[in-house]
Every structure is written in C-alpha cells, then in structure tokens.
Amino acid sequence: MSALAQAHGAVNLGQGFPDFGCDPALPAAVTAAMQAQHNQYPPMPGVAVLREAVAKKIQTLYGHGYDRDSEITITAGATQGILTALLAVVHPGDEVIVLEPCYDSYLPNIELAGGVAVPVPLAPGSFRPDFEKIAAAITPRTRLLIINTPHNPSATVWTDAEMLSLAELLRGSSVLVISDEVYEHMVFDGQQHQSVARYPDLLCRSFIVSSFGKTYHVTGWKVGYVAAPAAMMMEFRKVHQYNVFSVNTPMQYGLTSYMGDARPYLELPSFYQSKRDRFRAGLQGSKLKLFPCEGSYFQCVDYSDLVAVGAMNDREFCEWLTREKGVAAIPLSAFYAQGSDQTVIRFCFAKEDQTLDKAISLLRQL
C-alpha cells in the first residue's frame, strides 16, 4: 500500500510509521557516542548500561525487577526479538496459538521455527480475547501463545481482568507466552498498560518484547529489547548470538543517555491521544464508522455504509481509496492467515497534523 500511495501521490495512512522527526536530542546523543568512539562490537546481549536502563524502567512502571545481566537482551528491532524467541523455544510440530487479526510477522516466524500456527479469532467487532476459544485451542502440543497489547491492528488494550483470566487459563500448564508490547506507551483515556511484568503467574513464562523505534519515533533504527526469566533468556541468546550477534553500538549508548529523562515516554500517551482525537473528530459525521481506539497509533473504521463501493472487499476498497480518493489505508484481512473481510480498514494517525487534516478533508468527501 505504501508503494501504491507513492505511485498515486496519496496521503499515506497505511504503513505504521511517523511522518515527523524525533527529538533532535536523540540523534545528537548517538553522534556523541560515535565521537566518544563507541563504534566497535558491543557485548552480545547489549551494552550493560542500556540493559540497566531498561530494567529500571520496567521496575518503575510495572513493579518487576529483571536482572540486566541474565534477563534482558537488546535486539535488532522487536520483530527480530519475536522471531528469536520463537526459534529458541518452538520445535518442529509444536503448536503456537495466535490471536487474529495479528501483526503479519507472527505466522511466517512460526513457520520458520517449524511450528504449527493455531489461529484463534478475537471477537469480531470488539476484538476482545475470547478465553473459551483460547482454552479450546490448547492441546498437548501447544508450546506457546502470542499476545499483543496495545493491539495492532485493532487498537484494543487488554484490561487487568483479561490478564488475570489469561493467567488463570495458563496456570498449571507449560505453555509459554510472547507478549508483544511495542505500543506500551500509547494507551489513552487514563488507562494503564497491563504488561505481563505486572503478573507473577505470567511473567514467569513470558518473553516481553518492546521497541525503542516505536517509543521514540525512530522506526528505521530497528532497535528493541526482550525481557524474560533467566532460563528462557539463556535459550533466547543461543539463537540471538547466531542470527544478529549484536546491535548497533552507538545507538545503544545514545538511547541509554536519552533514557535518563523519562518524560519522552511518559508524555507519549497525551501526544498520541491528541492526534487520535483530532483524527476521530475530523471523521465524525462521515460515512466511515469508527471503532474504539484505546491504544497504539491506529484507527480502524468500517466502510460498509458507503453504498456505492460496498460491494468491494477490503483490499479492493483500499486500492480504490488510494487510487481514486488519495488516501492509503490497510485492509484488515491482511492480518488474518486466511483473510477475513469484515469491511474494516486500518489507518495510522502517527502523522503531522497537516497530514491528518488533508486526509480528513479527502475522507469526508466519501
């Protein structure tokens, strides 16, 4: 969709990345690290000071103290962290439960590990977890479950009650968890992000994955981290050592310096909520029906009231919207293994206000 948007000069609200720059202090910190000659290989799990900063952040926000030396690894983005966790613990024939719609790397990653993906749909319309369906999907072959909150693409945020339900469901089992928390600092309307680090019955079986790129508006840097109990992290690092070995040294030192001030991520909810509110207010009264947006920087809409194009499936609609109306979005069916056309598409509002205003003007003409 990004290529199609570029070809037609459309406003690109499709792929999930900002069209604005990061805080200039962050690249300045990386430049300072380069000039300080932090330019050689770092330790395989990441520089110690950055792992310490991550551990302190998790402790402060979620109340669990991970050991920087044995339980935190810096990764080449969150996607590498997810793949590495799967390769570390999933064996050929193992089943991995994924909750659909889901981020599009999960299924290929499971296949690369030799696992068998077991898709379980989130409740249509609300995209809440259905614990009866999850329980029914667990078999003796179930090795792992992947969860994602705040959720891409639906923008739902798991509640404390839902996390407790998951903990109860898995209690007594050997099922592991990958908790994709890359949008952890984008939770709106006073809600809290419910990290698995808050729940002892979950953290003991979980890999937590997060992203500096998402948090600091530098998605192209591809730097993230994974936190897990020491025994699980030992297995993770056996794979990490041979698929990337280590991650960009000056960026690690630059991020460490920048993390000394917590305000950039503590202020992120209000920053993105203002963009969410601007986008949603602009679409009020249009023919697009807005789904709730509790977190992340995505907004899903139902286009079925557009009678003239109602016969289009979501992919056809997104292509038409890009070519003919000048706004790019992503069809929700792209986030399902077998597709699932629900006349729902996803917009990204991590954009400059003028970008959003231009898109709103075009979308209100539908």
For 145-163, write each residue's pLDDT tens digit.
Answer: 999 999 999 999 999 999 9
Distances (CA, A) of 235 to 28, 85, 230: 35, 8, 9
Q: Which domains does the chain have, with CATH numbers?
A: 2-16+266-363 (3.90.1150.10), 25-260 (3.40.640.10)
Q: Report the pLDDT value the prediction gives residue 307, as an integer from 0 to 100.
A: 62
Give CA 66 to chain center in angstroms: 21
DSSP strand pairing (298-302 vs 344-348) = antiparallel
Instruction: Quote the longest CA-to-CA distance of the chain.
Output: 61
Q: Report the pLDDT value the prediction gives residue 16, as an integer from 0 to 100.
A: 87
Q: Report the pLDDT value the prediction gives residue 308, as an integer from 0 to 100.
A: 64
Assigned token pair, 137: 């999907």
Q: Report the pLDDT value the prediction gives residue 125, as an integer from 0 to 100.
A: 87
Sheet holding 344-348, edge to edge: 289-290, 298-302, 344-348, 330-331
| Successive 10-residue mean pLDDT values, the chain, 366 residues | 89 92 97 97 98 98 97 97 98 97 95 97 93 97 98 97 98 97 97 97 98 96 97 98 96 97 96 98 95 97 79 92 95 89 93 97 94
- Is 256 within 8 Å of 49 (Cβ atoms)? yes
If phi > 0 it is left, if psi is from -120 to 50 it is alpha, else beta; for residue 104 that is alpha
For 25-52, write each residue's pLDDT tens digit.
Answer: 999 999 999 999 999 999 999 999 999 9
- What are the beta bridge partners of residue 227? 72, 208
Q: Report the pLDDT value the prediction gives residue 310, as an integer from 0 to 100.
A: 57
Assigned token pair, 328: 């790019």
Assigned token pair, 302: 């139902």
Q: Report the pLDDT value the prediction gives residue 17, as an integer from 0 to 100.
A: 87
Helix (H) or strand (E) holding 347: strand 344-348
Q: Report the pLDDT value the prediction gives residue 136, as an integer from 0 to 100.
A: 98
- What are the beta bridge partners of residue 226? 73, 209
Q: What is the SS3 assignment for 106?
A: helix
If phi > 0 it is left, if psi is from -120 to 50 it is alpha, else beta; for residue 9 that is left
Quickly count helices (H) and strands (E) in the chain. 15, 13
- Is 82 within 8 Å of 110 (Cβ atoms)? no
Q: Report the pLDDT value the prediction gives residue 220, as an integer from 0 to 100.
A: 94
Give CA 296 to chain center in angstroms: 8
CA distance 105 to 111: 10
CA distance 20 to 351: 7
Give me the amino acid identity at 261.
Answer: D
CA distance 272 to 263: 14
DSSP strand pairing (72-75 vs 95-100) = unpaired
CA distance 247 to 234: 18
